[in-house]
Amino acid sequence: MKLRTILVAAAASVLASCSSNENAVIELNVPGAGGKEVVLSKLQVNTIAIVDTLDLDANGNAKGKVNVKADDPDFFYLSYNQKRLASLLLKGGDRVKVSVDTLGGGLTVTGSDETSRLIEIEKTIYDASAKFDAFSTEIADALEKNDTERIKEIQVELSKFFVNYKRGALAQMMKQPASLSNIMLLYQRFSDELPLFGDVHDLVYFRSIHDSLKQSLPNSKYVRALKEEVDKYQKAFEFNNKLTLAGELAFPEIEMADTKGQNRKMSELLGKPFILVFWTSTIDQQKMFNHDLKELYSKYNPKGLEIYQVSADVDKTQWATVVKEQALPWINVCDGRGTACVALNTYAVTQLPTLILFDKSGNIVAKNIFDKAALDRELGKLSY
């Protein structure tokens, strides 16, 4: 009997463990709304649907459970009187405590780091949208007064705001590229005609976030949807960008500042075999690849091999810090423009990292070989 009791208890423990990984618990407190109900909705990739209502007791407390897998998080929303009180990003096993008033103020959430980050991102989006709306109102007023000079001034201010905000949003995403909350920034729109990341060259950002999320959440429906978006951008990019190698040089020139602020031209390397690498210092896997490059550089640099590495970062300080920490011995450049960097567009970069191997005459002999042994073999074939 004792053995049977142990087995039953073990089985119950396993079932409880499985159950917790399939559900998330929400403990809610809404002061001043005792006896009322709060609507719980769920984002279903393209639509939002009501999944439950939480009945508040006399003290404004309620407890609910949502079905969600640990490896496939979901976005949930709490609403009262058709006003959203809180957004949640939950996975199976989460147990969150939410406190908020009936107007959505005084919001505090504990028990979910992803929800905390989502709330931070939503505030960023809300503030930016309010700023954009203010610009739109000013332009409308200037149009009504036929004040063309003021319209031009506002358009310049709006353009600067958009560029700076996009850089900030990108930096925010790259701090935690494996966070599903980045979806909200990737798909942010100021209007139907103005998405934040709507340029065809923004493919590199969609791909970077997708690749990071795929590592941690391979079963997420949102990651699958993001892959479809990456494929769509890829086709548009290929249609609009055809790499042509022409002119006085065998390859399009790149001239950018290195970590010391000195302009370095890629044409400096003509006459030597060299590797052109596009990367970002914000992705750990790409920093790890630098270790492979250093080993190969040590082996082939005495024969004449060089490397010209272009960063797609917007935070030049962080980039320079990583270059110093990794003691990268080759030419490393960055202009802080992200995908607006001319070099990325010129070389039709659609993924990070991108690697292009040139012979000493400046002809492309290989692309995107990231296996160290395979790259070693290609380098061994070159004439030095």
Q: What is the DSSP-derived secondary structure letter of residue 234?
A: H
Is 96 a member of any domain? yes
Q: Which of 86, 110, 134 is the last residue of a domain?
A: 110
Is 248 a member of any domain? no
Q: Which of 110, 126, 150 is the last residue of a domain?
A: 110
| Measured distance CA(223)–CA(264) in Å, rounded | 38
CB contact at 8 A, 273 and 382: yes
Geometric angle at alpha carbon 33, from 28 and 35, rounded to 5°: 90
The H or E element that residue 11 is part of is: helix 2-20
User: Can you give the pLDDT at residue 37?
Assistant: 95
Is 7 a member of any domain? no
Is 68 a member of any domain? yes
Same domain? 266 vs 232: no
Q: Which of 43, 77, 110 is the last residue of a domain?
A: 110
| Measured distance CA(333)–CA(237) in Å, rounded | 24
Residue-by-residue pLDDT tens, the chain, 384 positions = 444 444 444 444 444 444 457 899 999 999 989 999 999 999 987 788 999 999 999 999 999 999 999 999 999 999 999 999 999 999 999 999 999 999 999 999 999 999 999 999 999 999 999 999 999 899 889 888 988 889 889 888 998 899 899 989 988 998 899 999 999 999 999 987 789 988 777 888 898 899 999 999 999 999 999 998 888 777 766 655 544 443 444 678 899 999 999 999 998 898 899 999 999 998 888 999 999 999 999 999 999 999 999 999 988 999 999 999 999 999 999 998 887 788 887 787 888 899 999 998 888 899 999 999 999 999 999 988
Same domain? 228 vs 284: no
CATH of the domain at 89: 2.60.40.1110
Is 315 a member of any domain? yes
Same domain? 51 vs 123: no
Q: What is the DSSP string of 175-195?
A: HSTT-TTHHHHHT-EEETTEE
Is 215 a member of any domain? yes
User: Can you give the pLDDT at residue 20?
Assistant: 59
User: Can you give the pLDDT at residue 7?
Assistant: 41
Tell me the residue range of the domain where 267 lies.
255-381
* pTM (whole model) above 0.75: no
Same domain? 220 vs 141: yes
- What six digits make up the tokens of 345? 């567009």
Same domain? 193 vs 288: no
Same domain? 92 vs 127: no
CATH of the domain at 344: 3.40.30.10
Same domain? 198 vs 299: no
Cα–Cα distances in Å, from 383 out to 79, 100, 292, 298, 379?
Answer: 67, 68, 21, 17, 9
Same domain? 321 vs 359: yes
Same domain? 268 vs 357: yes
User: Can you give the pLDDT at residue 2?
Assistant: 46
Domain count, the chain: 3
Same domain? 348 vs 317: yes
Is 100 a member of any domain? yes
| Measured distance CA(370)–CA(179) in Å, rounded | 25
Same domain? 291 vs 338: yes
Query: Quick one: CA dihedral 158, 117, 351, 261, positive or negative?
Result: positive
Same domain? 132 vs 163: yes
Is 313 a member of any domain? yes
